[in-house]
Amino acid sequence: MNTRPRLVTTEAELKQASAELLQAAAGRHRSGRPSQALVPTMGALHPGHAALVGAARRANDVVAVSIFVNPLQFGEAADLQRYPRTLEADLDLLAAAGADVVFAPPVEEVYPGGEPLIRISAGRLGEKLEGGSRPGHFDGALTVVAKLLHYGLPALPADFRAYFGQKDAQQLALVRRMVADLDFPVEIVGVPTVRDTDGLALSSRNRFLSPAEREAALVLPRSLHYLKGQADRHEPLDLGGALAMIGSVPLVELDYLEVVDPASLEPLAFNCQDTPFTGEALALAAVRVGQVRLIDNVQLGY
Ligand code: PAF
């Protein structure tokens, strides 16, 4: 059986654990600095999260995972209440994935004075795509990520990396931008999306799909891989065809499908529909299947 990671609930305990684990790691290092990773999560963990922790484990001496359901990034109170809390199963998954320490603070530890007055603003990058449907979501997500990056800073001299899934491509682009714009001393590492055997990207929301909805949802990865095939062959991108694929599935309602620059998230599609695709881009899509909103993306030209 795998050893369970150490569970801590306060910043002080996390720093104490970091100091002890880094001290032990420094003893093993002949040269060079040890390194510490933080994997921020909201729990309800699945193999996609295990891949984040696995990537962190392979590249770092100390791996901390945070589990915190952040009220600031939820639009409706009902969504926050409904969010699955599965700490025991999460700890088992994290033991198998090799985490050293799990930071699962109560809400009062993170927001002792209630909701913070001062927040990180995602700016116009946070208003498009997901931000268009979920106003304020990215301000809330970046605010907690900023706090978690402070909590997760190594307690002794060490390199610091934080791991985020490519599945949430807009969040990843925004975190990279925040860290660059505000000089956070951390390297941000993006980890490829993990998919089920049928192609559906793993998500804690997939559990809410009925079998018929799940079957219908497969049009999301199918339409994105249609575009990826064209990009790989340096053909013009048939965005209209991809939209028509989604439109042909009755249970699926399209929110957006866009081809964007990976860093600025500015739309590119209309520059590459008539000419062969070159360079790098992201094809991003969001759909609603019944009550469940799903997002997915593929990298084009990588
Ligand atoms: O991607 C998530 O799970 C969350 O948005 C994050 C990064 C843990 C912040 O709450």
Report the alpha-carbon distance of residue 71 to residue 153 in Å, rounded: 23
Distance from the first to the final alpha carbon of the chain: 39
pLDDT average, residue stretch 256-265:
93
The residues, any chain, with a CB within 8 Å of residue 246's CB and separated by 6 or more, are: 219, 220, 223, 252, 254, 257, 285, 287
Identify the CATH number of the domain in which residue 217 sits: 3.30.1300.10
Distance of CA 25 to the CA centre of its chain: 28
At which residue do the structure tokens 């979920």 appear? Answer: 134
- Residue to probe by mutation, ligand 1, list 144, 150, 203, most atoms within 8 Å of CB: 144
Q: Write out pLDDT tens, residues 102-131.
A: 999 999 999 999 999 999 999 999 999 999
Q: Which domain holds residue 264?
A: 204-297
Domain shared by 141 and 244, yes or no:
no
Domain shared by 28 and 78, yes or no:
yes
At which residue do the structure tokens 């609930």 appear? Answer: 9
Asked if residue 134 has pLDDT above 80, the reply is: yes
Report the alpha-carbon distance of residue 191 to residue 284 in Å, rounded: 16
Summarize the annotated binding site for beta-alanine as residue ranges.
73
Q: Write out pLDDT tens, residues 75-92.
A: 988 889 989 999 999 999
Identify the CATH number of the domain in which residue 98 sits: 3.40.50.620
Domain shared by 274 and 163, yes or no:
no
Return the axis-axis angle of helices 239-247 and 219-232, rounded to nearest 10°.
170
Report the chain's mean pLDDT, rounded to a whole number: 95
Q: How far is the CA of 275 from the centre of ligand 1 (A)?
A: 37
Domain shared by 161 and 63, yes or no:
yes
CA of 41, closest atom in ligand 1: 8
CA of 70, closest atom in ligand 1: 10
- Comparing 202-211, 212-221, 260-269, which segment has the lowest mean pLDDT? 260-269
Q: Whose CA is nearest to atom 8 of ligand 1?
A: 41
Domain shared by 74 and 30, yes or no:
yes
Q: What is the token pair recorded at 247? A: 């439109």
If one counts the domains in the chain, the total is 2
Domain boundary among 134, 157, 191: 191
The reply to whether 302 falls in a domain is no
The reply to whether 242 falls in a domain is yes
Write down how long the chain is: 302
Q: Whose CA is nearest to atom 9 of ligand 1?
A: 141
Q: Whose CA is nearest to atom 1 of ligand 1?
A: 41
CA dihedral sign of residues 6, 7, 11, 13: negative
Torsion of CA 257, 278, 262, 251, to 10 degrees: 20
Q: How far is the CA of 141 from the centre of ligand 1 (A)?
A: 6
- Residue to probe by mutation, ligand 1, list 41, 176, 194, 203, most atoms within 8 Å of CB: 41
Residue 298's DSSP bridge partners are 283
pLDDT average, residue stretch 246-256:
97
Q: What is the token pair recorded at 276? A: 């062969």
Asked if residue 2 has pLDDT above 90, the reply is: no
Domain shared by 166 and 37, yes or no:
yes
Give me the amino acid identity at 195.
R
CA of 165, closest atom in ligand 1: 1
Reported confidence tier of residue 26, pLDDT bands at 50, 70, 90:
confident
With a Cβ cut-off of 6 Å, ligand 1 is lined by 40-42, 70, 73, 141, 144-145, 168, 171
- DSSP assignment of 245-294 equals HHHT-TTEEEEEEEEE-TTT--B-GGGSSSS---S-EEEEEEEEETTEEE
CA of 66, closest atom in ligand 1: 8
The reply to whether 1 falls in a domain is no
The reply to whether 117 falls in a domain is yes
Q: In the prediction, which pLDDT does 76 show?
A: 86
Question: Active-site residues: which are they?
Answer: 49
Q: What is the token pair recorded at 169? A: 């491509």
Q: How far is the CA of 176 from the centre of ligand 1 (A)?
A: 14
Q: How far is the CA of 259 from the centre of ligand 1 (A)?
A: 23
Q: In the prediction, which pLDDT does 273 show?
A: 73
Domain shared by 114 and 12, yes or no:
yes
